[in-house]
Protein backbone atom coordinates (compact mmCIF):
# COMPACT_ATOMS: atom_id res chain seq x y z
CA UNK A 1 0.00 0.00 0.00
CA UNK A 2 1.26 3.46 -0.86
CA UNK A 3 1.57 5.78 2.13
CA UNK A 4 0.39 9.10 0.74
CA UNK A 5 0.81 12.38 2.56
CA UNK A 6 -1.94 14.96 2.22
CA UNK A 7 -1.97 18.64 3.01
CA UNK A 8 -4.89 20.96 2.36
CA UNK A 9 -3.90 24.43 1.15
CA UNK A 10 -6.73 26.96 1.50
CA UNK A 11 -7.07 29.65 -1.15
CA UNK A 12 -8.18 32.95 0.37
CA UNK A 13 -9.47 35.94 -1.59
CA UNK A 14 -7.57 39.19 -1.19
CA UNK A 15 -8.41 42.58 -2.68
CA UNK A 16 -5.16 44.49 -2.13
CA UNK A 17 -1.80 42.71 -2.17
CA UNK A 18 -0.10 45.38 -0.04
CA UNK A 19 -2.76 45.18 2.67
CA UNK A 20 -2.66 41.38 2.52
CA UNK A 21 1.10 41.45 3.09
CA UNK A 22 0.65 43.91 5.97
CA UNK A 23 -1.78 41.44 7.59
CA UNK A 24 -0.24 38.03 6.83
CA UNK A 25 3.46 38.96 6.85
CA UNK A 26 3.67 42.06 9.00
CA UNK A 27 1.18 41.08 11.69
CA UNK A 28 0.77 37.28 11.65
CA UNK A 29 4.42 36.57 10.86
CA UNK A 30 4.06 34.58 7.62
CA UNK A 31 6.68 34.75 4.88
CA UNK A 32 5.98 35.22 1.17
CA UNK A 33 7.17 32.08 -0.63
CA UNK A 34 6.30 33.23 -4.14
CA UNK A 35 4.08 35.58 -6.15
CA UNK A 36 2.75 35.07 -9.67
CA UNK A 37 1.01 37.34 -12.17
CA UNK A 38 0.05 36.28 -15.70
CA UNK A 39 1.19 39.70 -16.88
CA UNK A 40 2.44 42.94 -15.31
CA UNK A 41 -0.88 44.43 -14.18
CA UNK A 42 -2.78 41.17 -13.68
CA UNK A 43 -4.12 40.08 -10.27
CA UNK A 44 -1.61 38.38 -8.00
CA UNK A 45 -1.68 34.75 -6.88
CA UNK A 46 0.76 34.09 -4.06
CA UNK A 47 1.80 31.63 -1.39
CA UNK A 48 2.57 32.54 2.22
CA UNK A 49 3.69 30.17 4.95
CA UNK A 50 4.49 29.99 8.62
CA UNK A 51 6.19 26.76 9.66
CA UNK A 52 4.01 23.97 8.18
CA UNK A 53 0.96 26.19 7.57
CA UNK A 54 0.65 27.15 3.90
CA UNK A 55 -1.95 29.54 2.47
CA UNK A 56 -2.59 30.67 -1.08
CA UNK A 57 -3.82 34.24 -1.50
CA UNK A 58 -5.54 35.30 -4.69
CA UNK A 59 -6.74 38.59 -6.17
CA UNK A 60 -8.52 36.61 -8.94
CA UNK A 61 -12.28 37.00 -8.50
CA UNK A 62 -13.10 33.44 -9.56
CA UNK A 63 -10.71 31.58 -7.27
CA UNK A 64 -12.68 31.72 -4.03
CA UNK A 65 -15.35 33.54 -2.04
CA UNK A 66 -14.66 36.50 0.23
CA UNK A 67 -15.44 35.79 3.88
CA UNK A 68 -14.29 32.17 3.93
CA UNK A 69 -13.20 30.63 7.23
CA UNK A 70 -10.16 28.44 7.81
CA UNK A 71 -9.66 26.54 11.06
CA UNK A 72 -6.00 26.33 12.05
CA UNK A 73 -5.03 23.93 14.82
CA UNK A 74 -2.06 25.00 16.90
CA UNK A 75 -0.28 24.50 20.19
CA UNK A 76 1.19 27.24 22.37
CA UNK A 77 -1.82 29.48 21.74
CA UNK A 78 -0.91 31.82 24.61
CA UNK A 79 2.60 32.39 23.23
CA UNK A 80 1.26 32.91 19.71
CA UNK A 81 -1.29 35.41 21.01
CA UNK A 82 1.39 37.39 22.86
CA UNK A 83 3.60 37.38 19.75
CA UNK A 84 0.99 38.84 17.41
CA UNK A 85 -0.41 41.27 19.98
CA UNK A 86 3.09 42.74 20.45
CA UNK A 87 3.06 43.84 16.79
CA UNK A 88 1.37 47.04 15.69
CA UNK A 89 -1.74 46.27 13.64
CA UNK A 90 -4.63 48.70 14.20
CA UNK A 91 -7.43 46.63 12.63
CA UNK A 92 -7.42 43.51 14.84
CA UNK A 93 -7.04 42.98 18.60
CA UNK A 94 -8.23 39.39 19.10
CA UNK A 95 -8.63 37.68 22.42
CA UNK A 96 -8.57 34.00 23.35
CA UNK A 97 -11.87 32.32 24.23
CA UNK A 98 -12.65 28.71 25.12
CA UNK A 99 -14.99 27.20 22.53
CA UNK A 100 -18.14 25.37 23.70
CA UNK A 101 -16.47 22.07 22.71
CA UNK A 102 -13.50 22.78 25.05
CA UNK A 103 -11.01 23.77 22.42
Q: How far apart are CA 13 and CA 35, in angstroms?
A: 14
Alpha-carbon distance of 41 to 37, in angstroms, equals: 8
Residue 92 carries which DSSP code?
-
Which domains can be identified in the chain, with CATH numbers?
11-85 (3.10.180.10)
pLDDT at 93: 84
User: Binning pLDDT at 50, 70 and 90, where does residue 22 land?
Assistant: very high
* pLDDT attached to residue 95: 87
Per-residue pLDDT at 36 exceeds 90: yes
Q: What is the pTM (predicted TM-score) of this model?
A: 0.87
Amino acid sequence: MIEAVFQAVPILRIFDVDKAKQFYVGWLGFQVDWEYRFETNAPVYMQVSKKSLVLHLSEHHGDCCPGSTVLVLTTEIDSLHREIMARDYPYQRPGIEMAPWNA
